[in-house]
Amino acid sequence: MEFKWLVREELSQLRTIDRKELVEEVYYIKNQALQLVKEYYDISGWLESELTIYEQRLQSLFDRDGIIIGAYEENVLVGLVSLESYLIDSKTMKLDMLYVSHDYRRQGLGRRLIDIISQEAKELGAKELYISATPVRNTVDFYLRLGAELANPPDMYLFELEPLDIHLILPI
C-alpha cells in the first residue's frame, strides 16, 4: 500500500473508490445518546450527482490548503482521507472525509489513514478531530473503536450542515 498527498489534478480519482455497502442499522441521537435503529439500504456505489459534489468539495478543500491523502494499491486509489486546514477552536480540526473501498474495509486501512491524518493535525496544533459521520452503524462503530465520543454539544455550524450525521470528537 502506498500513501500519498494528492494534488488537485488527482482529486477526480475519488470515483475509483468502491463505495458499495449493505446497511442494516443506523444511529440516531436520542436524549444525548446513540440509539440503533434497523434500516435497510443497499448502496451500490456513487451517485453521479453526489460524486460531483464530493469532487468539488475536495477541490475547494485543496484550494484552502486542506490536506488530502490517498491510499493506493497498484496505482489505484482505494482509500482517501481529508482534513480542513484550520482549527475550529484552539484545539480541534475537522476531518472532512474518509472513504475506503469495499474490498479494503476491515483490514486496518481506515485506521492507518486516520493515524496519518491525525499526525498532520497534531503538527498543525490540533489535539482532537471533529468528525461528522454518516449515521451508518459500521461507520460510527469504527470511530467509536478508535476512541471517539459524541460531541457534546456539537459544533452548531457543522451540525446545521449535516443534522442527520453523528457528530463526534476524536482525541489525537
User: Residue type for 118, please?
Assistant: S
Assigned fold of 2-171: Aminopeptidase (3.40.630)
Lookup: cell for 95? 476531518
Burial class, 98, CB count within 10 angstroms (exposed 0-12 / middle 13-18 / buried 19+): buried
User: Could you tell me the strand order of the sheet in which 149-150 lies?
Assistant: 2-5, 67-73, 76-87, 92-100, 128-133, 166-171, 149-150
Q: What average pLDDT does the chain have? A: 96
Chain Cα centroid distance, residue 101 = 13
What whole-number distance in Å separates Cα of residue 172 and Cα of residue 164?
A: 25
Q: In this model, does residue 130 exceed pLDDT 90?
A: yes
Q: In this model, does residue 108 exceed pLDDT 90?
A: yes
Report yes or no: 80 and 99 within 8 Å, Cβ to Cβ. Answer: yes
pLDDT in tens, 90-106: 999 999 999 999 999 99
pLDDT in tens, 73-87: 999 999 999 999 999
pLDDT in tens, 4-52: 999 999 999 999 999 999 999 999 999 889 999 999 999 999 999 999 9
- Nearest-5° angle of CA 115, CA 60, CA 166? 50
Grid-cell match 465520543, residue found: 149
Grid-cell match 486546514, residue found: 85
Spell out the domain ranges in the chain: 2-171
For residue 36, the cross-strand partners are 27
Burial class, 132, CB count within 10 angstroms (exposed 0-12 / middle 13-18 / buried 19+): buried
What whole-number distance in Å separates Cα of residue 172 and Cα of residue 130?
A: 11
